[in-house]
Structure 1
């Protein structure tokens, strides 16, 4: 799981000016996590998973995922990566829980739930995208967040994981680190921004985070430099997930004490434990080719597929349990918990 300095130098010499923004439909909702708990079925909590249909309980790093997959639930048909997050639940006054569905972002009508994925050279609102970045390599994987965080202090190092209370589908600010405290007219959007600086050697690390870092100061968007320990600038991988909380916006359904009723599938009721997982699986040099080409959303160097094809790519659930009805406990036996 090493990458040579010569290969790094060659990759960094390429020009770049692309911003990829695309939808991925739901591949499966299941209690599997081949990154954090490989080989374990069921995993401790429920996830919503997108991407290539080679997704399985182990995801052996030695295998070539693009060759294992026969379809992808993402718009770019050369992208067999897997992207996943925890799922969101509503807790009713009687203590039962109901899973919150997802809906597509603006411009992606017809896509079955899922989320929006970005790969960027520069900040989201910089359409020039002129910085040079090195695409992720086969076998690369990473995680961001802290599933045990329940206080502002514990989430301080993960300030790139946010919530937006959508007034309409175009709302993007303000962003908070905890769950919104009032009903959101168009739903709740979670944002997961992964670190962008690589150590240049390891495709993974024991905690799936140490091989990556955020800029030494500033942010990716402000052009902050990578630290000397992690000198290779990679694309900003960024998820936007829109949770359809509108069916639960009747304030009479909310707790009498005025607290907010949403919890992550592992029980976190603060929102501070927001997190995301990524397994790279682009075919050949497709991602680097896109990063080196001028394109936004629709990239001429990549093959695309329509919403029907994205929606058609699914895999059967491995763990059979009720994920659609009202339940007395969250999958895995979790109950809502709040600040420590």
Structure 2
């Protein structure tokens, strides 16, 4: 109990507040109001406008990719990305059970099935070893791709998620997936600003997808982005997310099923201003992570830090407690005094709509589910 009291006191001092301390609240410290008012003045508040174009250019530069496409949210982005790499109805997609539900939902929206494989204990993201072991047991290469010998279905994609902004072991995962002819879509929703071996997350797979939800490191209320180094995929993403409309001065002609997944110019204006502050936000959060590291070392609590050869954005910071009982006490005591903490997500196969899908032992995921707690991680203003 002394450890929890010390933690509560430290967090209140760190955020200089005795009021409610949220998990991660947005900060608007730049040109947000200016750009929003400019958008209103132009009357281009919907899905066409200069700020949509600027946002896509900024994301292309930040992620070091050849094409970026603004979309309405990250979930929609993943849904489209999976379709772009060839996921069809009755296919399967390898992913992790330790993730936010949107990852699995995006697979289901394509009428495909998830295969839930274990995470690495240190990265908390999809384990290349688990993927390799599964494919060695169940994979079968055919002329048109990799098939699951147990279900007879095609394994059409691999969807790792960079948990809380900590990159998965991308080199190893790419090597495994190349061997089995499986394209990778990076769920980089939480990892804007994170790097793996000096390169931005989202730039390694065939496609990467980011989120700009209200609780992300950079937000525009909602919003997302699809990025790719394959320009043909990026162009197709733009086309599909704008209702698959063929360009024409005035005629409406749509030659395949598309989506109205466009980001409004109003949201893009907010996003552009936020992206201008990204470097400052990242530096601010790294300083907070250092302070947490020093504090929790003295409390004999493990604070999660970035792995070798990676740079984490420290979107949501977290501690690992001894067991579920300790976790539950920590959650109860902190939230009782308005210090917001949250457990990691329940594993996807516990949810009613995902209980019946194939999975492996989930050893690390089960361990983490019982122990990981997110703590206040906002950019500090003082």
Give the TM-score band, short-chain normalised. under 0.3
The TM-score with structure 1 as length reference comes to 0.25
Structure of higher CA gyration radius: 2
With a CA cutoff of 8 Å and minimum separation of 6, indicate the structure with the bigger relative contact order. 1
State the TM-score, normalizing by the size of structure 2: 0.23
